[in-house]
Structure 1
């Protein structure tokens, strides 16, 4: 699964003159005044030398994106291919965000789609009656003027229903059902505290028109004083029951806690709806998952932690995923949907459980690669000949990928977009060099600072990156935290929180406190990135040494072959954690999934294949392979590149950076058969694959650029594949397309980092 950093919206072609000369983008570390933080005042050149980087002139040429991509892959330990002999091809990835479609695969194996924009919520009928699931229509309505709520009580007279309102109900439900409605209303009025299960229910005739159903819901609530509840079933009938009893406290009406301006219900009342968690489908275009969550939470006056999801999705893409909100009413959320930009929600359903990272089977990707070229196509002039040649190469590449899989590398997204990657920050944290870790987090490109100060530079830098560079520069040179924070955009949470803490009186040297002020998921991201670097490097070495063979000392999951594995535990990023053998654990807790080395006889038995082999992410609670690869962990981690660390000494005094470790399968392969298509197209603005939104009748349409009519002289490859949780589509494409095959669509804006 891919987790992409924010990408600029404005882009230029690959052949931009400014994108020809390779150069290394490097950070700058200016001294913080000694009075402010002497421990962070390392000279610029020394800092760069320590990082193995050369200081760059701010007006140096922008790096060639493809050369830079290969360099980043090598630096991240991504070097090997399962089948290097297979021919690849090249193509441009994500030229348009609609070229990268991601649909979550639910634990049931169903591919999730946004199927409708109707604001309906699925609700379970009373289980004892064995009724099918029904759906209630929820519609955002103007907030009514505050009125005292009419509440029945035993011994009070039931309000009389005017004849014109009786006639209105009869027109909707029929005469017989209307008699039953009024009877149910009277019983509900006289017994407001009785549970709804003790009352009869009423079912309307089929009402096909949605507007008519909406009017029916509103009529029942308005005419019958909100004493009855209506839901729409799958067959478009409306079921009417007694409404849930109002909550009482000390005998008086209790105005309960507000959740996002919605009246919170007691746990029992939420269970009547189906549970305390409102699950819904989120469809988004060119947006971060958390960007949508933060907006919804802010509008409902909630903390973002009230929302959860199974996995973060790409930004420059069209993605569909399930999200859940704790004790939030569907009508309130539906009311916010009209204000969402480039995002839509639907598929509401109350559940008794929430969502956690890893609560998905994987993701389905539909990827369009544009401007594709193929080995040996130089002499082919007709489009038909090119298509035939292209199909032969793609078919071979896909079949190899399908059958032999790909090395399950962590993608580049894991390492961030800064010149000093997140793994470098993690390395410094694990060496307990907290000042150095902060210095790495607060690095920036001299190009960004030059742009912020109005100097001409070779590349355009986004306003956010310019502001970030200027803010950090201000902090480093003046020590004025408030002034720096006024400049740094709020999206840079880690930088702002560190400066905010160090800027407090008496906290200048409190580096652990400053890092502790960074959200925990960000702190973990740094050390997890270091683990990912080690894993990638070791995986490449294992493939180089043993290839697809299973050998003595390889690690496998205990019980996997005999079905003895429980649901795996996942970490904060959704990564599966596999524990070592009980005899190697401090506690021997049997609840954890474990791993063990294979004996020589087991390795040669044929019971296990290379897809069963796992490699550990370094930590204090893992066992390492009992072969040459186990020794390589010590060799690499002890090197300068590996940070001079010992894989057998991973406990740290600070708990947050004391890693227990985990495991990851060496090879991965797609869940289902990969589908592919090679097609010709003419205009670069032509959308080649339909999204979920495109398939919904009457749904809003995005504003498209004009497509020019002309000859279909370009070739695109469209792939549909399903990958498991925490598998990276970019790494799958890399195996199919080989080195240099995946072309980045060069951004008009440099990262400035």
Structure 2
């Protein structure tokens, strides 16, 4: 592997005309290219349209204590009424108050100094609180007998001794974040921008789907609800509420899972009895806990391929793959930028503004290459955000995991094997044990886990271990050398359930006439008393509403794949065909209406 450890631009100048693709067969079957090939059930399945509208997909986080997170209250409570009342008697002149408000708006480096020798402790405290009430980024400190106030973003503040908090045992504010058709990170960035706060101050347990209506909890350190009081009016498709004080911040992964309610439109199955059979079988047998296509990015950018190059320490190939040109990229500015790079490799000209560009992974990488003079490729790659680089590595891990699972199902079905790894508690257990002759009959299939390859995990004590070695060897990666001196490119590994059973399943079959009707009621719909009732006189369309719970990191699309017995990409194709058919029908109808209008004129 050392022979591929390229730290210079040796291969960078070889132009790559196409963005790396997962596999030649991926155009027709992207699932197969990432190891998604098997089903547990053997029924015929049926077609349907998933995520036709983002309102067809509701997600509510399940917290670590098992409660389902809902948005039920949009008010901003006052956790310290006495403190609020004291602000009306703050000993400041109108001139000082105006200067504070101006400083909050201009972000100048001005220093506002208020003599404090003649003030009581209570008066000084009220001034500190009043300053914070104007803008959390205004920092006030008692220095040499005066209260000195400057504008300093809260993320950069190291001293907050003057800040009094309603409950010292609960220094965090927790709230429910509701969003529609928006990314979690994008939403947090928008909230931070409006509140003039760094997004790193917000903590959350997981990232929710963009295309859907989702609810999750967020925490922030020592910020009171009144800072959010106008947020719901200022941000579209975002609501915050259910404010409470809590003891600890949220951490990524600190959740049990998610509750889903999904509307599958225009299903092709006629027999309602068969639907009941399929759902019952799904509840009893579960589904293969594959990593879904979302894990691997877009179909044209094979994130797992970049991850493979990074694990091979072939930095130049990784950079080539990230910066490869692809005519299917939707952003015209990015196509132009990558086209120019692959033709000229002239970073200075590309980044001088001749080609308009925005912030992106590709631009970050080009800036890194410019900064490191195209000689330190590891340094250049480090210009890409760390979480993004980890996504490349995790995508490769996930592909290996998927392929191992598929081979296991082909070879052994869902039989529990001697030497398998299992966990005792599927909801919260990181300790793994080996299956033996003595305990085999006491273990359920949903307790079986398979490792994501890494340097700090156990492998099964059976021939599955050799499968991992063989797959990694095919890519030039040694299973025993996955720890690298650059920490970001080392993989400790992890464990993942082999089979998952959906929990608390509920379903109903519905009929409707308007393809665009919304039958699901989100938390915000309930708060606004929006009734989403389907109307049907002709029973034109038939749909299936499924509600179920999944553990964290399990994909709802993979759960649906099992019950429909269709690959996600096939459902998308079916969706596109439906849209095309609808478009064609509309065109025919419009043409007929135009002909009728002409005939009316002629007559």
2:165 counterpart SS class: helix
Match of 1:490 in 2: 358
Contact 1:88 1:393 (8 Å CA) reproduced:
no
How much does 1:323 deviate? 1.5
Q: Does 1:429 align with 2:310?
A: yes
Contact 1:260 1:328 (8 Å CA) reproduced:
no
* Residues 106-505 of structure 1: pairs in structure 2 closer than 5 A: 106-120=63-77, 123=79, 146-147=96-97, 192=122, 248-255=142-149, 258-259=152-153, 265-266=160-161, 269-270=164-165, 272=167, 275-374=170-269, 377=270, 389=271, 391-448=272-329, 462=330, 464=331, 466-481=332-347, 483-485=349-351, 486=353, 487=355, 489-492=357-360, 494-504=361-371
Which protein has the larger Cα radius of gyration, Structure 1 or Structure 2?
1
Match of 2:571 in 1: 743
Residues 687 and 104 (structure 1), Cα distance of their counterparts in 2 relative to 1, 3 Å cut: same
How much does 1:595 deviate? 2.5
How many angstroms apart in 2 are the aligned matches of 1:300 and 1:445?
38
How much does 1:328 deviate? 2.9
Contact 2:31 2:567 (8 Å CA) reproduced:
no
How much does 1:78 deviate? 0.8
Residues 708 and 677 (structure 1), Cα distance of their counterparts in 2 relative to 1, 3 Å cut: closer
1:631 counterpart SS class: helix
How much does 1:646 deviate? 2.3
How much does 1:624 deviate? 1.2
Q: Does 1:689 align with 2:520?
A: yes
Question: Cα deviations across residues 109-163 of structure 1 (Å, max 9, x unaligned)?
Answer: 2211111322235x4999xxxxxxxx99xxxxxxx975399x999999xxxxxxx
Q: Does 1:608 align with 2:443?
A: yes
Q: Does 1:98 align with 2:55?
A: yes
Residues 145 and 665 (structure 1), Cα distance of their counterparts in 2 relative to 1, 3 Å cut: farther
Residues 282 and 637 (structure 1), Cα distance of their counterparts in 2 relative to 1, 3 Å cut: same
Match of 1:724 in 2: 551
Match of 1:580 in 2: none
How many angstroms apart in 2 are the aligned matches of 1:330 and 1:226?
15
Stretches of structure 1 lacking an aligned partner (at least 5 in a row) = 1-35, 55-66, 127-134, 137-143, 157-189, 197-220, 230-245, 378-388, 449-461, 569-592
Match of 1:712 in 2: 539
Match of 2:387 in 1: 521
TM-score of the pair, normalised by structure 2: 0.79
TM-score of the pair, normalised by structure 1: 0.64
How many angstroms apart in 1 are the aligned matches of 2:483 and 2:154?
42
How many angstroms apart in 2 are the aligned matches of 1:49 and 1:304?
32
How much does 1:740 deviate? 4.4
How many angstroms apart in 2 are the aligned matches of 1:347 and 1:273?
20
How many angstroms apart in 1 are the aligned matches of 2:317 and 2:118?
75
How much does 1:87 deviate? 4.0
Contact 1:424 1:530 (8 Å CA) reproduced:
yes
How much does 1:419 deviate? 2.1
How many angstroms apart in 1 are the aligned matches of 2:95 and 2:49?
55
How much does 1:530 deviate? 0.5
Residues 334 and 274 (structure 1), Cα distance of their counterparts in 2 relative to 1, 3 Å cut: farther
Match of 1:185 in 2: none
Residues 435 and 418 (structure 1), Cα distance of their counterparts in 2 relative to 1, 3 Å cut: farther
Q: How many residues align?
A: 537
Match of 1:595 in 2: 432
How much does 1:103 deviate? 0.8
Q: Which of the pair is proportionally richer in helix?
A: 2
Contact 2:311 2:489 (8 Å CA) reproduced:
yes
How much does 1:555 deviate? 1.0
How much does 1:425 deviate? 0.4
Match of 2:507 among 676, 684, 707: 676
Residues 609 and 595 (structure 1), Cα distance of their counterparts in 2 relative to 1, 3 Å cut: same
Residues 708 and 661 (structure 1), Cα distance of their counterparts in 2 relative to 1, 3 Å cut: closer
How much does 1:53 deviate? 4.2
How much does 1:338 deviate? 1.8
Q: Does 1:628 align with 2:463?
A: yes
Q: Does 1:89 align with 2:46?
A: yes
Residues 674 and 491 (structure 1), Cα distance of their counterparts in 2 relative to 1, 3 Å cut: farther
Contact 1:638 1:645 (8 Å CA) reproduced:
yes
Residues 248 and 310 (structure 1), Cα distance of their counterparts in 2 relative to 1, 3 Å cut: same
Match of 1:39 in 2: 11
Contact 1:274 1:350 (8 Å CA) reproduced:
no
Stretches of structure 2 lacking an aligned partner (at least 5 in a row) = 1-7, 86-93, 101-113, 134-139, 581-603
Residues 424 and 262 (structure 1), Cα distance of their counterparts in 2 relative to 1, 3 Å cut: closer
Question: Cα deviations across residues 55-79 of structure 1 (Å, max 9, x unaligned)?
Answer: xxxxxxxxxxxx95x6111111111
Residues 418 and 480 (structure 1), Cα distance of their counterparts in 2 relative to 1, 3 Å cut: farther
Residues 436 and 422 (structure 1), Cα distance of their counterparts in 2 relative to 1, 3 Å cut: same
Residues 337 and 601 (structure 1), Cα distance of their counterparts in 2 relative to 1, 3 Å cut: same
How many angstroms apart in 1 are the aligned matches of 2:250 and 2:151?
23
- Quick check: 676-685 or 102-111, which moved more? 102-111
Contact 2:308 2:393 (8 Å CA) reproduced:
yes
